[in-house]
């Protein structure tokens, strides 16, 4: 089962954690990404490509489910304006054993950063700038083949 949600509302961790559990599964791995207040960032706004974003995330979840025989793969990604400390993204993977769950979770967050159409814009007081893509993110995504 996969669950992909792109939403403006805050991410409800308790509900997402509970929803990631499954019968016959012994392991749930999760990743939560938070907005950092680096160098005085006061706001982070996420733009996305409606439709294409969900499709890209679903393709990633399908790949993870097939590769690690997951019971569940969940990606909840927030868009719109956020402040430091807010949750940007939640990933959960559910499997019979921990190795599959942990690896699949790392795969999803690495691939999501370079393979789904989101764009971050940081605001520091009255100044705003688009965040540049990082080569280290490309390298992290590439390690999964």
Partner 1 sequence: MPIDILYFAWVREAIGQGSERVDPPADVTTVAALIDWLAVRGGGYATAFENRDRLRTAVDQVFVPLDTGLVGAREVAIFPPVTGG
Contact region with partner 1 (CB under 8 A), list: 14-22, 66-74, 97-105, 108-116: 108-116
**In sequence order, what E strands does the chain have?**
2-7, 27-34, 43-48, 72-78, 80-82, 87-95, 118-124, 127-130
**Closest distance to partner 1 from the beta carbon of 28 (Å):** 20
The pairing of beta strand 27-34 with beta strand 80-82? unpaired
> Cβ distance 21 to 71 under 8 Å?
no
Residue 113 φ/ψ, nearest 5 degrees: -65, -25
Site for partner 1 contains 120 (CB under 8 A): yes
Of residues 18 and 52, the one with the C-beta less far from partner 1: 52
Nearer to partner 1 by C-beta: 35 or 101? Answer: 35
CB of 53 to partner 1, least distance (A): 8
Q: What is the DSSP code (8-state) at residue 40?
A: G
**At 137, which helix (H) or strand (E)?**
helix 135-142
**Residue numbers 18-57 binding partner 1 by CB under 8 A:** 33, 46-49, 51-52, 55-56
In the complex with partner 1, the residue whose CB is nearer, 73 or 109, is 109
Residues making contact with partner 1 (CB under 8 A): 33, 46-49, 51-52, 55-56, 77, 88-89, 109, 112-121, 130-133, 137
């Amino acid at each position: 089962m996969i669950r992909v949600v792109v939403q403006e509302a805050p991410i409800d961790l308790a509900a997402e954690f509970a929803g990631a559990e499954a019968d016959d599964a012994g392991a749930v791995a999760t990743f939560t990404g938070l907005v950092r207040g680096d160098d005085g960032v006061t706001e982070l706004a996420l733009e996305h490509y409606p439709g294409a974003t969900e499709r890209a995330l679903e393709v990633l979840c399908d790949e993870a489910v097939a590769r690690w025989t997951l019971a569940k793969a969940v990606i909840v990604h927030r868009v719109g304006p956020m402040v430091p400390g807010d949750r940007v993204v939640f990933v959960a993977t559910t499997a019979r054993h921990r190795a599959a769950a942990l690896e699949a979770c790392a795969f999803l967050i690495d691939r999501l950063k370079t393979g789904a159409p989101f764009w971050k814009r940081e605001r520091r007081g009255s100044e705003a700038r688009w965040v540049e893509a990082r080569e280290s993110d490309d390298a992290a995504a590439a390690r999964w083949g």
